[in-house]
Amino acid sequence: MVALAPELQRNFAEILGPDGVLQDAAATAPYLTDWRKLYRGAAIAVLRPRNAAEVSKIVRLCAEHSIGIVPQGGNTGLVGGATPSAAGTEIVLSLARMNRIRAVDAENFTATVEAGAILQHVQEAAAAADRLFPLSLGAEGQCQIGGNISTNAGGIAVLRYGNMRELVLGLEVVLPSGEIWNGLRALRKDNTGYDLKQLFIGAEGTLGIVTAAVLKLFPKPVEKATAFVATPDPARALELLAACRAASGDNVTSFELLPRLAIDLALKHVPGSVDPLRTPSPWYLLIEMTATAPNAGLREALEKALEAALTNGLIADATIAESEAATRRLWHLREAVVEGQRLEGASIKHDIAVPVATVARFLEEAVREMIAAMPAVRPVPFGHLGDGNIHFNLMQPVGISGEAFLERGRALTTLVHDRVMALGGSISAEHGLGQLRRGEIARYKSATELALMRSLKAALDPRGIMNPGKVV
């Protein structure tokens, strides 16, 4: 921790109260590293405001002294966006104390929440009002709405409900000047000029600090059908996706792809993981359909689609969950797939998207290319097949140290991303650029697009104090 000039220290404490300014090493340590422990930073202080007015005062003070501000939510981001640089010249601004759910309006199908509200708490508040807030992801017990907005988070229900960008109606933002923009509108339609909220969604804290949001709610599903399916390859899995969408009245919520190795690692490392099928298969799918009307016939629709798929050779085996406990076991396995890889050793992660129709081609070509480049590498591509979003992870070969693999693996990342771009894809589907991918976008975005991004940044944040060194 860098010593804070006494005058600034007094100013921050006056604004936030003594418990709003953290400076000692033990208290600040969790804020200075990321979830994966890939990055370690330093900061002048960690500041914990209680409302937008306090955020505004801090930002004005930082602007005056040209101090960089790193906004931080639940700190579950996977690209180092919420970790300050090692220089120790920035402050971390934690939104954790701004966690109120201000209102749930069941009639308007909206919730107004502060940026620090934990995603799971927002889901629970919506459910208590007989509504659904559909964003759902592995870190939902810790990540915050402000972080979800700033990374334009995706997760396991994007196929049906869209990503965070599609779930936000209004925002309140503290701008880099310290001004508060109140755009907390609860409107479905508003064509009064530029849609400014879109600038801040997915901006990873580089254009301003999100302090509150109006979120879209939906009718709460009352029926659900979940299946675990063995499929020979992703091409046939995509045929099944189309069949399931049609059969269910487009009520497929999740369509997740898992390779055999991912299941093996989950079974090996994560207690409570159960292999749902006896037939070993190169690929599996976790499929979930939901409906908001009772007796919607989802189970029958799923059964019929799977029966036809068995006959047509799209799948080799399937099981439909018979109880809530069985459904939970399937989702436990899906989450254990992430944990299993972590416990197995080092992996190089890619969060890519390609057009849904080209996922199968991408996987076939990319896996072949990886094996050619490093024959012992263990690809574990898994994720949101229905969105064309694959977590194309490469697990360290047996018998090589994690460090040696990560060192050699840099070249593999360029191969993966070049292939993604050749198919019209994206090198970051849902995690953002942060520090991890910032250097790479120069290779993949056109000069025109980069210049546009930089001119937006310069217009909103001319002093460059918002999350320096991230995104652009």
Residue 309 contacts ligand FAD per CB under 6 A: no
Q: Which of 20, 49, 68, 73 is the binder for ligand FAD (CB under 6 A)?
A: 73
Residue with Cβ nearer ligand FAD (222 or 459): 459
Q: Which of 81, 84, 340, 468 is the binder for ligand FAD (CB under 6 A)?
A: 81
Residue with Cβ nearer ligand FAD (305 or 337): 337
Q: Considering only 144-152, 273-281, 290-298, 300-308, which stretch makes contact with ligand FAD by CB under 6 A?
A: 144-152
Least spacing, CB of residue 199 vs ligand FAD, in Å: 12
Residue 84 contacts ligand FAD per CB under 6 A: no
Residues 6+ apart with CB under 8 A from 62: 68, 69, 91, 465
Nearest Cα neighbor of 379 from 392, 361, 390 is 392
> What would the x/- binding string for ligand FAD be over residues 146 to 175, using CB under 6 A?
xxx-xx-xxx--------------------
Q: Which of 63, 78, 377, 395 is the binder for ligand FAD (CB under 6 A)?
A: 78
Least spacing, CB of residue 138 vs ligand FAD, in Å: 3
Strand partners, 227: 287, 320
SS (H, E, C) the chain: CCCCCHHHHHHHHHHHCHHHEECCHHHHHHHHECCCCCCECCCCEEECCCCHHHHHHHHHHHHHHCCEEEEECCCCCCCCCCCCCCCCCEEEEECCCCCCEEEEECCCCEEEEECCCEHHHHHHHHHHCCEECCCECCCCCCCEHHHHHHCCCCECCHHHHCCHHHHEEEEEEECCCCCEEEECCCCCCCCCCCCCHHHHCCCCCCCCEEEEEEEECEECCCEEEEEEEEECCHHHHHHHHHHHHHHCCCCEEEEEEEEHHHHHHHHHHCCCCCCCCCCCCCEEEEEEEEECCCCCCHHHHHHHHHHHHHHHCCCCEEEECCCHHHHHHHHHHHHHHHHHHHHHCCEECCEEECCHHHHHHHHHHHHHHHHHHCCCCEEEEEEEHHHCEEEEEEECCCCCCHHHHHHHHHHHHHHHHHHHHHCCCECECCCCCCCCCHHHHHHHCCHHHHHHHHHHHHHHCCCCCECCCCCC
Least spacing, CB of residue 93 vs ligand FAD, in Å: 8
Single-letter amino acid code for the residue at 96 = A
Q: How many CB atoms lie within 10 A of CB 77?
A: 26
Q: Considering only 40-48, 251-259, 400-408, 430-438, which stretch makes contact with ligand FAD by CB under 6 A?
A: 430-438
Least spacing, CB of residue 16 vs ligand FAD, in Å: 16
Residue 82 contacts ligand FAD per CB under 6 A: yes
Least spacing, CB of residue 119 vs ligand FAD, in Å: 8
Residue nearest to ligand FAD (CB): 147
Residue with Cβ nearer ligand FAD (110 or 150): 150
Q: Which of 41, 68, 74, 202 is the binder for ligand FAD (CB under 6 A)?
A: 74
Least spacing, CB of residue 384 vs ligand FAD, in Å: 7
Residue with Cβ nearer ligand FAD (61 or 199): 199
Q: Which of 170, 205, 381, 469 is the binder for ligand FAD (CB under 6 A)?
A: 205
Q: Considering only 73-81, 220-228, 234-242, 418-426, which stretch makes contact with ligand FAD by CB under 6 A?
A: 73-81
Q: Which of 91, 104, 139, 305 is the binder for ligand FAD (CB under 6 A)?
A: 139
Residue 354 contacts ligand FAD per CB under 6 A: no
Residue 202 contacts ligand FAD per CB under 6 A: no
Residue 347 contacts ligand FAD per CB under 6 A: no
Least spacing, CB of residue 137 vs ligand FAD, in Å: 4
Residue 254 contacts ligand FAD per CB under 6 A: no
Query: Which residues contribute to the site for ligand FAD (CB under 6 A)?
Result: 35, 70-78, 81-82, 95, 115, 137-139, 143-144, 146-148, 150-151, 153-155, 204-205, 209-210, 338, 430-431, 434, 467, 470
